[in-house]
Amino acid sequence: MRTRAYQHSLSGSTLPPGETLLRVSDLSLRFGGVKALTDININVESGNIHAVIGPNGAGKSSLLNCVSGLYKPTEGTVTLRQQAKGRQGLSPEGEAGEIDEKVVSRLAPHKVARLGVARSFQNIELFDQLSVLDNIMLGRHIHLLKDPFMAMLWFGPAKRQEIRHRELVEEVIHLLKLQEYRNQPVGALSYGIQKRVELGRALAMQPALLLLDEPMAGMNSEEKEDMARYILDIHELAGVSVVLIEHDMNVVMDISDRVTVLDFGKIIGDGTPAEVMANPRVVEAYLGAGD
C-alpha cells in the first residue's frame, strides 16, 4: 500500500515544505454584537497538518468558513500563497516560479475552491442521491469542461474527459479503500463511510490545502484510528497540507505538526503539540485541568 506508486499527484501545491501556505492576518468576524473571531493571526506552513482546537463555540468552524468563503470576515484577510505555474492540469508540476499571493477572504466559495482550497463539513454534506463514484467525480469539477453542448454530444471531449478523470478518482478510491462502495448511493452508507467519501471528494480536487472540519466527530475509537490513518496517508503519501479541526486531544496531539488553540474567538495558544500541552492558558481553558 505504502509503496504503491500513484500516477497522479493529489496535492495541488508546489510550495516547498516549510513555506507559508495560508496566512490569516488580523481576522475578525462579528455577527451583530457577537464577536465570533477577534484578531486571529495564523500561519499554516506547507506540508504540515495544522490542527485548530478549542471548546465548543470557540470559533473554529467560523474560521474555516472565513477561509473557504462561506462567511465574509468583518476585518482582516486570508491569503493563499502558491507558486506560479502553468495551466493547472491533472499533474500540476510546473517550473519553480515566483510565489503568488491571493487574498481568498471575501471571494465566493467556488472561486476559493478553484484556487485549490478543498474542505469537508462538520455535518456531512454529500450529494445523497448520487453514488460514491459520482460524488468523488464531482470533486473533479474545477478541472472539467463546463460546456453543456459538448456534454450533450458525449462523443469527443466529454467522453475522453470522463475517462481521464476517472483514472485519478480511482486512485482516490484506492487510497481511501472505498472500492466496495463505488456504485452505491451515499445516502445509504454508514456514517463512517460517508465521512470517508467526503474526504475523498475533497481530495479529488487535488487541493493545495485541505480543510477538515471535525472529520472524526461522532466516531468510536476504532473508526477514529482508521480516519487518523487516512489523514496521515493523505499527508504522507499524497503530500497534501491539512488544516484540521478536532475535539479529540489524543488524535490531535498524535498526528498534527502544529496546533492553534482558540477560546471565545481568540487565540490562546499556538505551537507544536508539546508546547501547547505545556501552555497553562490552554490547560486552564480547554483541557480542564482545574476540574
Q: Which three cell numbers stand for residue 289?
A: 485541568
Other Cβ atoms within 10 Å of 35 Cβ, number: 16
Q: Which three cell numbers stand for residue 131?
A: 453514488
Establish if 163 lies at the interface with other proteins (CB under 8 A): yes
Q: Which stretch binds other proteins (CB under 8 A): 30-38, 40-48, 88-96, 106-114?
A: 106-114
Which of 90, 99, 144, 277: binder of other proteins (CB under 8 A)? 144
Gap between the Cα atoms of 260 and 270, Å rounded: 4
- Which residues, 6 or more positions from 8, have their beta carbon under 8 angstroms from its beta carbon? 90, 91, 167, 168, 171, 206
Q: CB 201 → other proteins: shortest distance, Å?
A: 7
**Of 1 and 152, which CB lies nearer to other proteins in the complex structure?**
152
Q: Which stretch binds other proteins (CB under 8 A): 76-84, 111-119, 261-269, 273-281?
A: 111-119
Q: Which stretch binds other proteins (CB under 8 A): 77-85, 162-170, 232-240, 256-264?
A: 162-170
Q: Which stretch binds other proteins (CB under 8 A): 6-14, 92-100, 123-131, 241-249?
A: 123-131
Which of 15, 22, 142, 178: binder of other proteins (CB under 8 A)? 142
Show the site string, 178-217: x = touches other proteins by CB under 8 A, - = not. -----------------------xx--x------------
Any bridge partners for residue 185, and if so which?
131
- Dump the DSSP string for 56-120: TTSSHHHHHHHHHTSS--SEEEEEEEEE--S---SS-------EEEEE-TTS-HHHHHHTTEEE-
Establish if 129 lies at the interface with other proteins (CB under 8 A): yes
Establish if 108 lies at the interface with other proteins (CB under 8 A): yes
Indicate the pairing of strand 209-213 with strand 49-53: unpaired
Q: CB 187 → other proteins: shortest distance, Å?
A: 9
Gap between the Cα atoms of 234 and 202, Å rounded: 11
Gap between the Cα atoms of 173 and 232, Å rounded: 16
Sites of contact with other proteins (CB under 8 A) = 68-70, 108-110, 113-114, 118-119, 121, 125-130, 134, 137-142, 144-148, 150-154, 158-159, 161-163, 166-167, 201-202, 205
